[in-house]
Amino acid sequence: MNSSSVEKFATSSNHALEIANAISANKPINRTITALVLKLQTTLSIGQIIETFFESLKTDMDICGIEYEYPLLYTHINHGRKTDSSYSYLIEVDNDTWGNIVIYCQADLTQDAKSNLDELISAVIFPLRNAIQYENALVVAANESYLGLPNWGLLESQINREAKLAFREKQSLSLVLIDIDRFTTLKNNYGLLFGDLIIRHVYETLESILRDTDILYRFGYDQFSIILRNTETYDANNIAERIRAAVSNHELLNDNDKKVRLTVSIGITELNSNDSVESLYARAYNALKLAKNSGRNIVKEADGIFLR
Q: List, for residues 192-238, the tens digit of each pLDDT value.
A: 788 888 888 898 899 999 998 999 887 767 889 999 999 999 999 99
pLDDT bucket at 244, cuts 50 / 70 / 90: very high
Q: Angle, nearest 10°, between helix axes 46-60 and 111-144?
A: 170
Composition of the chain by helix, strand, coil, percent to 5: 50, 25, 25
- Look at domain 6-141 and name its CATH class: alpha beta
- Look at domain 150-307 and name its CATH class: alpha beta
Average pLDDT for the chain: 82
- Regarding pTM above 0.95, the answer is no
Phi, psi torsion values for 298, nearest 5 degrees: -150, 155
Specify the DSSP element, H or E, that contains 96. strand 96-105
Mean pLDDT of 103-126: 88
Number of neighbouring beta carbons within 10 Å of residue 132? 21
| pLDDT of amino acid 176 | 96
Specify the DSSP element, H or E, that contains 187. helix 183-190
pLDDT bucket at 74, cuts 50 / 70 / 90: low
Number of neighbouring beta carbons within 10 Å of residue 5? 9
Tell me, what amino acid is at 222?
A: D
Break the chain into its structural domains and give their ranges: 6-141, 150-307
Longest dimension (CA), the chain: 65
| pLDDT of amino acid 277 | 82
